[in-house]
Structure 1
Amino acid sequence: MSFGRLITAMVTPFDENLNIDWEATARLIDYLIDEQKSDSLVVSGTTGESPTLSDEEKVELFRFAAKHAAGRCKIIAGTGSNETAHSIQLTRKAEEAGVDGILLVAPYYNKPSQEGIYQHFRVIAEATSLPVILYNVPSRTIVSISTETTLRLAQIPNIVATKECASLSQMIEIVSGAPEGFVVYSGDDAVTLPTLSVGGFGIISVASHLIGAKMKSMIQAYLEGRVNDAKEINEECYPFFNGLFNCPNPVPNPVAVKYALSLVGMPVGGVRLPLVPVEDGEAAFLQKLIEKR
């Protein structure tokens, strides 16, 4: 199954009481599909504030997104945790909810060995018929899925891709050693174009909430051999790639994106503690950034 080249790691809309806002969620899904040209959506990933969503909320979100998307894009459920048994349980519930695939983050905090990481992903993949995307983000999890472990996991039939936030050199190594059908996504918007240039497949994006259509045109230009066009579009996109995460101080993904969405007429509510809303300086920076969209 192909999840497409542009996947958005979707924020989770909240109402004034910080409960999931289902009307806003429906509007956001439509907007990301119709206006920002997302091929797939990750729900309940890090950008979706998964650490503060209950299992019940996650399953309800999986079911709602799959039903509302109605085949217009693929829905990928974030079901990873640092407890293997818990991830298996949540993955099975996601499958029952009708999603198209799952995203599994490397097990965080308990710092398993590479063998432990391999066994963690192996048993979860074997517990589902859904396609699995690995998620390597050592800046958040401390541990990194090594190239060797990734390529070993790529031999498991339903492990079909990895989202890499480690390094471009590791992406190159994975691309060169991966079996046919296993693909590499960047998890860093700023290296979308370099990822394509070394044989990567696409991007699991945050900036696509705001400039997804432009990113899609950049990807298409590169694939069609219009490299100079792709380079020019990348230069237009780069202030957003950089600015959303350094505005003027680094802030977590959902905080800046949710505020930016409110500025473009797509309100999605606030964030749950321990995240806090943008401060005045960050808000002013984002307002100027959005004016350039």
Structure 2
Amino acid sequence: MDFGRLITAMITPFNSDLKIDWDGFAKVFDYLIEEQESDSLVICGTTGESPTLTEEEKLQLFEAAVKRAKGRCKIIAGTGSNDTAHSIHLSQAAEKLGVDALLLAAPYYNRPSQEGLYQHFKAVAESVSIPVILYNVPSRSVVNIDADTTVRLSHIPNIVATKDCAGTDQLTRIVSGAAEDFLVYSGDDSSALPALSVGAHGIVSVASHVVGKEMKRMIEAYSSGNVKAAAQLHAQLLPVFSGLFTFPSPAPVKHALALKGLPAGGVRLPLLPATEDEGRFIASLFQ
């Protein structure tokens, strides 16, 4: 399955009561596809505030996304957790709702061994028939899916890609050792272009909520051999890439969307919305 080169980890819009804003969800969903040129959307990833969404809300969001997509993009459901049994349960439920693929984050807090990680992902992948994308984010999960483990997992038939935030050295080892047709995505906007240079296929992005078109041009420029143009675009976009993570995500990108008149809403505790100073800083990124 081709997920494209630009995948957006979509926010979850909330209303003033911090309930899901379903009209807002539809507007942001269409905007990401039609205006920001996302090829696929991750629903209920970390940027979608998955830690504070209930299981019922997640299933509702998966179902709404599948119905809204109508073939315009692939829907990737965030169903991973640090409980293998629950990850299997949620993954099977998401599959029944018609999602195109699953995104499985590395189990957090309980810090499994590399063999534990392998067995976790293997068990979840073998419980479904749809494609699985691994998600390695050591800064959040406090465990790294080592390159050798990812390479080993790439030989499980329906584990087809990874979103990896561990840096270009690890990406290089994965690209060079993984099974044929296994796709590698950077999970760090600032590393999108360097990741492409070592063989990554694309980016799973937060910044693409607001600069997706520009990121698409950067990827296309690099892919067509115009490295200088890609580097220029990367330099122009870097302040946005960095600025959207100066305080806990997704509050910065939600504020940026609100500045564009889109219904992003606030964030649920323990996250906090942008302060006045933070809001002014986010606004300055687009002036």
Which residues of 2 match residues 139-288 of structure 1 at below 5 A?
139-246=139-246, 251-288=247-284
Q: For the residues of structure 1 that align with 2:248 and 2:203, how far apart are their CA atoms?
A: 19
Where 2:199 maps in the other structure, the secondary structure is coil
Q: Deviations over 1:1-25 (max 9, x none)?
A: 0100000000000111111111000
Where 1:8 maps in the other structure, the secondary structure is strand
The Cα of 1:233 is off from its aligned counterpart by 1.0
Letter of the aligned partner of 1:254 in structure 2? P
Q: Deviations over 1:149-197 (max 9, x none)?
A: 1011000000001111112100000001011110110000001111111
Q: What is the aligned partner in structure 1 of residue 97 from structure 2?
A: 97
Q: For the residues of structure 2 that align with 1:50 and 1:22, how far apart are their CA atoms?
A: 16
Q: For the residues of structure 1 that align with 2:31 and 2:6, how far apart are their CA atoms?
A: 14
Q: For the residues of structure 1 that align with 2:130 and 2:286, how far apart are their CA atoms?
A: 37
Where 2:160 maps in the other structure, the secondary structure is strand
Q: For the residues of structure 2 that align with 1:57 and 1:273, how far apart are their CA atoms?
A: 16
The Cα of 1:290 is off from its aligned counterpart by 2.1
Q: For the residues of structure 1 that align with 2:37 and 2:74, how far apart are their CA atoms?
A: 12
Q: Deviations over 1:72-115 (max 9, x none)?
A: 00000000000000000000110111110000000011111111
Where 1:111 maps in the other structure, the secondary structure is coil
Where 1:76 maps in the other structure, the secondary structure is strand
Structure 1 spans left out of the alignment, 5+ residues: none
Q: For the residues of structure 2 that align with 1:116 and 1:32, how far apart are their CA atoms?
A: 36
Q: What is the aligned partner in structure 2 of residue 19 from structure 1?
A: 19
Q: For the residues of structure 1 that align with 2:18 and 2:225, how far apart are their CA atoms?
A: 46
Q: For the residues of structure 1 that align with 2:26 and 2:53, how far apart are their CA atoms?
A: 18
Letter of the aligned partner of 1:281 in structure 2? D
Where 2:133 maps in the other structure, the secondary structure is strand
Q: For the residues of structure 2 that align with 1:168 and 1:233, how far apart are their CA atoms?
A: 19
Equivalent residues of 1:5, 1:202 under 8 A apart: yes
Q: Deviations over 1:120-159 (max 9, x none)?
A: 0001000001100000001000111011110110000000
Is 1:109 aligned with 2:105? no
Letter of the aligned partner of 1:276 in structure 2? L
Query: TM-score, normalized by length of structure 1?
Result: 0.97
Q: For the residues of structure 2 that align with 1:253 and 1:42, how far apart are their CA atoms?
A: 15
Letter of the aligned partner of 1:274 in structure 2? P
Where 2:161 maps in the other structure, the secondary structure is strand
Q: For the residues of structure 1 that align with 2:284 and 2:207, how far apart are their CA atoms?
A: 16
Q: For the residues of structure 1 that align with 2:235 and 2:183, how far apart are their CA atoms?
A: 25
The Cα of 1:245 is off from its aligned counterpart by 1.0
Where 2:48 maps in the other structure, the secondary structure is coil
Q: What is the aligned partner in structure 1 of residue 131 from structure 2?
A: 131
Q: For the residues of structure 2 that align with 1:140 and 1:234, how far apart are their CA atoms?
A: 25
Equivalent residues of 1:263, 1:290 under 8 A apart: no
Q: After TM superposition, where is structure 1 displaced by more than 2 Å over at least 4 residues in a row?
A: none
Q: What is the aligned partner in structure 2 of residue 63 from structure 1?
A: 63
RMSD of aligned C-alpha atoms? 0.7
Q: For the residues of structure 2 that align with 1:290 and 1:236, how far apart are their CA atoms?
A: 11
Letter of the aligned partner of 1:126 in structure 2? E
Letter of the aligned partner of 1:154 in structure 2? S
Structure 2 spans left out of the alignment, 5+ residues: none
Query: TM-score, normalized by length of structure 2?
Result: 0.99
